[in-house]
């Protein structure tokens, strides 16, 4: 392949797309596009809480960090599977967080999110809690006929859980979450044999990934250290930002 025929941005986009599966090496390890690919988006923090932090430690100055990252990934998946037929994507979004942020920003954020759904023609499922996510994984579709082939998360997290409303209702805390202790409620048979899972949140690889594997049988790629969403507006997926950071299973 002659690199000169590609722009630098195109090469970066290609590498970002294939990197999550690079360790699998063989094509037959990729998720089947006929299986359901679930992308989960958590909600943003509110400025009314974040204003109390020092400037360089504030979260979500822009409301759309997790929505834009999810949109980038949806576009990548659709392009990747284009020659194999349409990929079956379900996009789960934490609705309460965007309703409260819409009030703060004075913008119709729910409508903005629905416009992404319409543009990419994906199934949009709103959720309110971690239990909602588990219920959808288990029985959102008939899992004897339609398995979960992919599961990815964009949002706030710590080593033990996905925190869907971090600094949205309470400064530095979350009332809506998916804790690793809740993962035992997932039906392992909901997942296809060659499922792929990845969390793009901070610290997931330090504990949550192992708990996910134990409960589902699926190895989840997660971060050691923090991830950074500051360049999603450039169509760049979240990247590792800790000096010691790495992706792990």
Residue pair 86/33 in contact by the 8 Å Cβ criterion: yes
Task: Give strand pairing partners of 38.
Answer: 90, 151
Domains in the chain: ranges and CATH: 28-241 (3.40.50)
Q: How far is CA 136 from the centre of its chain?
A: 15
- What does the pLDDT look like over 150-181, one tens digit per residue? 999 999 999 999 999 988 888 888 999 999 99
Query: Model-level pTM greater than 0.85?
Result: yes
- What does the pLDDT look like over 199-247, one tens digit per residue? 999 999 999 999 999 999 999 999 999 999 999 999 999 999 999 999 9
């Amino acid at each position: 392949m002659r690199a000169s025929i590609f722009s630098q941005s195109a090469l970066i986009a290609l590498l970002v797309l294939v990197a999550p599966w690079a360790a699998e090496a063989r094509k037959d390890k990729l998720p089947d596009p006929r299986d359901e690919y679930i992308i989960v988006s958590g909600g943003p923090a509110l400025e009314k809480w974040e204003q109390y932090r020092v400037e360089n430690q504030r979260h979500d100055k822009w409301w759309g960090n997790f929505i834009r990252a999810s949109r980038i990934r949806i576009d990548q998946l659709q392009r990747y599977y284009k020659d194999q037929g349409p990929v079956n994507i379900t996009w789960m979004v934490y609705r309460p967080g965007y309703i409260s942020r819409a009030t703060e920003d004075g913008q119709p954020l729910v409508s903005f999110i629905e416009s992404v759904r319409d543009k990419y023609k994906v199934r949009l499922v709103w959720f309110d809690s971690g239990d909602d996510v588990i219920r959808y994984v288990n029985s959102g579709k008939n899992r004897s006929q339609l398995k979960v082939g992919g599961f990815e998360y964009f949002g706030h997290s710590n080593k033990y859980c996905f925190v869907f409303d971090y600094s949205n209702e309470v400064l530095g805390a979350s009332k809506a979450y998916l804790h690793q202790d809740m993962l035992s409620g997932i039906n392992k048979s909901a997942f296809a044999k060659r499922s792929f899972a990845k969390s793009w949140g901070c610290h997931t690889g330090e504990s949550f990934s192992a708990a996910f594997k134990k409960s589902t049988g699926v190895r989840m790629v997660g971060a050691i250290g923090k991830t950074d969403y500051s360049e999603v507006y450039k169509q760049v997926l979240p990247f590792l930002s800790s000096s010691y950071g790495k992706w792990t299973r």
